[in-house]
Amino acid sequence: MSVIAPKFRLGYFIKALLDNIFWAVVLLTLAGIPAIMILLFYIDLPIIDGQILTPFLAFTWMTHPEMSVPLVKAFMQTDFFRIAAFPGFGFGALLAAGVIFVERKMLAKLQLRVGPFYCGKVEGILQLMSDGIKLLTKEIIIPAKADKPIFWVAPLLFVGTAAAFVSLIPVAPKTVVADIDVGLLAVFAIIGFFPIITVLSSWSANSKYPFIGGIRALHQMISFEIPLILSLLGVVILTGTLNLSEIVESQATYWWIAFLPVGAIVFFIAMLAELERIPFDLPEAESEIVAGWLTEFSGMMYGLVQLGSYLKLYAFAGLFVVLFLGGWQGPMVWPPFPEEIVTEGITMGPVTAQIPGLPLFSQEMLNGTLWFILKTAAVIFFILLPRGVFPRIRIDLLLHVGWYRLIGLSFVNIFIALGLLYAGVLGPEGIL
C-alpha cells in the first residue's frame, strides 16, 4: 500500500475539478450556444412532410423508434461513425485497453506475481481506470532547452499515425474505414512514419538517454522494414491484388498461412521488432537506458504514447489476421435474427413496440467481426507471450537477424509462392 503524498488534499483536487467544470459551462453558454443560434439563423432548415425540421422536432423524432432506427442505421454508414466508433478509433482503443489489462494479468501469472489485484475487487478490473486518472493528474515536466513544440506534438503524432494504420484494417465485409485499392502499400507508407516520429521526439528532448533510444529505434525499425515488406510479397503474388478486403475474400477455402508458413513467421518476427516488444525492445530497454526514447515523457504524454503503441499492436495483429489467417472468414456460428421481432415487434412486459428496420447489423457482419476478434486476440496473445519468457537481444545480433536471416527467408518465401503459382497448385487454374 502506498501512502498518499502529504501535500495532497482531496479538497483541492475536487476544487480543481469543479473549477474546470465551471469554466467549461461558462465557455459553452457564452460561445457555444450563440454559435449554434447564429448557425441556425443562416441555415435553411429542410421541410419534411410539410413540417420544418427544427432542432426540437428532430430531437422528438430521435426518441421515436420508427424514426430513430433508420436514422441510426444511416448514421452507422457515415464516415464519422466509422472513424470515431466501429471499425475505427473507438474499437481500436477499446481493444488496446483490453490488451493492456490482459497483458498485466498474464505477465503476473507467468512470473508468479500477484499482480495488480486490488482495484475494483474483481480481478483488478478498475486498474486501467486508476492508471488513467493517475496519468491525468501527474505533472507534465518538459526538460529545459527541449524543443517544446515538437516535444508536445510528438505523442499526438504517434497516436494519430497509429490510428491511421488502424483505419486500413478490414474488420468484417464492407466494414473498413478506408477501402483503398493499394491498401498494403498504404500500410507500408504509414509504418514508415514511426521511426521519423521516434527520432524527432528523442532529438527534441535534449537529453542523452532518449537520444540513444531514438537511434536504436531508427536502426531497428529500418532493418526490419525490408523483411516485413518482402515477406508479404508472397501473398500479393498469389492473390494478385493489394486491396486488403480482396485479400481476405481470396482466403475463403484456405488460409495463406497453410501455403506460406515461412512468410508468416518472418512477418511475425518483423512485426515484433516494429512494435518494439521483447525480445526486440532495445529502444525502451529499461535496464540499460532508463526508458529509452520515452525517458523524458511524463504524465499524460507518456499515456498517449502508450495508447499509440497499443493501437499499433492491434493494427499489426489485425494485419497478420487479414493476410495470413483469413480475416473475417469462418463458419457461421452467430445465431440468425429471429423473424418474430420484425413481424410482431418486441414485447417487454405490457408494452409491445413495433420497430421497422430492426436488424442493425447483418448476421454476416456480426459473425465476421466475431471471428476477426477471436483471431486477433489469439495473435495478440502470441505477441504478448515472449515478454514473459525471453531476454533482450544485443543490437548487433538484432541487425544480423534482420539483414541476414530474415531477408533470406523472405526470398525463400517468394520462391515458394512462385513455385505454387507455376506448378498450378494455386492461381487461376489451381485448387482455389
Partner 1 sequence: MKKFDPKKCAYLFIFWEESQATLVGETAANFSQVMMMFGFAVIATAPALLISRMLSPRRRSNPVKFLPMECGQVPQGEGRTHFMMQYYAYVLMFVVFDVMAIFLYAWGSTILNLPRTATLPIIAFLAIMFAAMAFALYQAKRRNIW
Check if the beta carbon of residue 197 is closer than 8 Å to that of residue 158: yes
Residue with the three cell numbers 430521435? 62
Name which of 163 and 325 has its Cβ closer to partner 1: 163
- Under DSSP, is residue 21 helix (H, G, I), strand (E, B) or coil? helix
Cell of 291: 526508458
126-160 b/e with 16+ CB inside 10 Å = b? ebbeebeeebeeeeeebeeebbeeebebbbebbbb
Cell of 186: 498504404
Q: Which of residues 391-410 bind partner 1 (CB under 8 A)?
A: 395-396, 399, 403-404, 407
Binding mask 56-95 toward partner 1 (x if CB under 8 A, else -) reads -----------------------x--xxx---xx------
Contact 275, 312 (CB under 8 A): yes
Select 68 or 241, whichever has its Cβ closest to partner 1.
Answer: 241
Is residue 290 within 8 Å of 297, Cβ to Cβ?
A: no
CB of 62 to partner 1, least distance (A): 23
- By beta-carbon proximity to partner 1, the closer residue of 22 and 382 is 22
Q: How far is the CB of 299 from partner 1 (least distance, A)?
A: 6
Residues 157-186 interacting with partner 1 (rule: CB under 8 A): 157, 159-164, 166-168, 177-181, 184-186
Cβ 20 to partner 1 shortest distance, Å: 5
Kindly tell me which of 226 and 265 has the beta carbon lying closer to partner 1.
Answer: 226
Nearer Cβ to partner 1 (330/427): 427
237 binds partner 1 (CB under 8 A): yes
Number of residues that bind partner 1 (CB under 8 A): 88
Contact pick of 52, 208, 332, 353 for partner 1 (by CB under 8 A):
208
Tell me which amino acid residue 209 is: Y
In terms of CB distance, is 161 or 329 closer to partner 1? Answer: 161
In whole angstroms, how close is the CB of 384 to partner 1 at the nearest point?
23
Question: What are the residue ranges of helices labelled H in 120-260?
Answer: 127-137, 148-166, 183-191, 193-204, 208-231, 233-239, 244-249, 256-259
Site for partner 1 in 358-397 (CB under 8 A): 395-396
Only segment of 39-47, 143-151, 342-350, 355-363 that touches partner 1 (CB under 8 A) = 143-151
Instruction: Please state whether the peptide bond connecting residue 279 to the residue before it is cis, i.e. omega within 30 degrees of 0.
Output: yes
- The answer to the question of residue 20 lying near partner 1 (CB under 8 A) is yes
Kindly state the smallest distance separating residue 257's Cβ from partner 1, in Å: 18
Closest approach, Cβ 339 to partner 1, in A, equals: 36
What region does 311 belong to: left with phi over 0, alpha with psi -120 to 50, or beta?
Answer: alpha
Closest separation in Å from C-beta 240 to partner 1: 4
Q: Is 141 in the site for partner 1 (CB under 8 A)?
A: yes
The two beta strands, 51-52 and 47-48, are: antiparallel
Smallest gap from residue 107 Cβ to partner 1 (A)? 25
Shortest distance in whole angstroms from residue 111 CB to partner 1: 25
- For the bound state, the minimum distance from the C-beta of residue 66 to partner 1, rounded and expressed in Å, comes to 31
User: Pattern 284-323, binding to partner 1, x per CB under 8 A?
Assistant: ------x----xx--xxx-xx--x----------------
Half-sphere exposure in the Cβ direction for 328 (13 Å, CA): 22
| DSSP H helices in 28-78 | 33-42, 55-62, 65-76
Is 270 a binding residue for partner 1 by CB under 8 A? The answer is no
Q: Is residue 428 involved in binding partner 1 (CB under 8 A)?
A: yes
Task: Please say whether the beta carbons of 96 and 307 come within 8 A.
Answer: yes
Angle between helices 300-324 and 148-166 (to 10 degrees): 30
Q: How far is it, in rounded angstroms, from Cα 122 to Cα 309?
A: 27
Work out whether 156 is an interface residue with partner 1 (CB under 8 A): yes
* Residues 99-138, interacting with partner 1 (CB under 8 A): 135-138
For partner 1, the binding residue among 197, 242, 271, 273 (CB under 8 A) is 242
Residue 250: alpha-carbon gap to chain centroid: 24
Minimum Å distance from CB 254 to partner 1? 17
Question: Is 336:189 a contact under the CB 8 Å cutoff?
Answer: no
Alpha carbons 210 and 152: distance in angstroms, whole number:
15
Q: Is 17 in the site for partner 1 (CB under 8 A)?
A: yes
* 190 belongs to the binding site for partner 1 (CB under 8 A): yes
Q: Choose between 329 and 410: whose C-beta lies nearer to partner 1.
A: 410
Residue 226 is a binding residue for partner 1 (CB under 8 A): yes
Q: How far is CA 236 from CA 68, 312, 420, in A?
A: 43, 22, 13
Helix axis angle, 89-110 to 127-137, nearest 10°: 110
